[in-house]
Amino acid sequence: MRAFFLAAVLAAAPVFAQDTASPEGARVYFANLEDGATVASPVTIQFGLEGMEVAPAGTEMENSGHHHILIDRPQLGEGEDGADELTTNLPADDNHIHFGKGQTEVTLELAPGSHTLQLVLGDLNHVPHDPPVVSDVITITVE
């Protein structure tokens, strides 16, 4: 019973530091959306990646990671509550969506109005690489 409890605590504990290196020139981007786009909901978002490979969370493989999308958040690492996002595992909530199975596309229901989006590649533990592989923040308008 104690071993099970310890395993559960360790699994829930945040992972710190950027221990996973990214290669020079690696980049992540929105393959089908541009800054300023006007779209209808549901919105299909395709993730592009160059210089690295997509691998499911928990996969220990050099030059790989999995996608996360930040919705209506300050640019990664900025803002009062985003300062730790570059050095710990990213949270999983309505503003931080994980694609730990290695997905490269998602269709999301977004409310009408303006939304910011940013892609972040996470390592096997959902921690941004060093240096971080992040897209530009784009703004879309949902009609």
Whether the per-residue pLDDT at 78 is higher than 90: the answer is no
Burial (0-12, 13-18, 19+ Cβ within 10 Å), 29? middle
Q: What are the angstrom distances between the C-alpha of 114 and each of 21, 92, 133?
A: 34, 22, 24
Domain contains 3? no
Token output for 118: 């940013």
Give pLDDT, residue 9.
35
Total of domains in the chain: 1
Domain contains 66? yes
Domain contains 7? no
Q: Name the nearest CA neighbour of 69 among 97, 31, 99, 100.
A: 97
Domain contains 9? no
Mean pLDDT, all residues of the chain: 86
Domain contains 138? yes
Mean pLDDT to the nearest integer, 113-140: 95
Domain contains 5? no
Give pLDDT, residue 19.
78
pLDDT digits (tens, 9 = 90+) for 6-57: 333 334 444 445 579 999 999 999 999 999 999 999 999 999 999 999 999 9
| Domain assignment of residue 99, given as a range | 25-142
Mean pLDDT to the nearest integer, 110-136: 95
Percent of the residues in the chain that have a pLDDT greater than 90, as a whole number: 73
Domain contains 16? no
Q: What is the pTM of this model?
A: 0.84
Point out the least confidently predicted range of 43-47, 83-87, 138-142: 83-87
Assign residue 97 the CATH number of its domain: 2.60.40.10
Domain contains 17? no
Give pLDDT, residue 76.
73
| Residues 59, 124 contacting (CB under 8 angstroms) | yes
What gap in Å lies between CA 9 and CA 100, rounded to an integer? 20
Give pLDDT, residue 85.
72
Give pLDDT, residue 90.
87
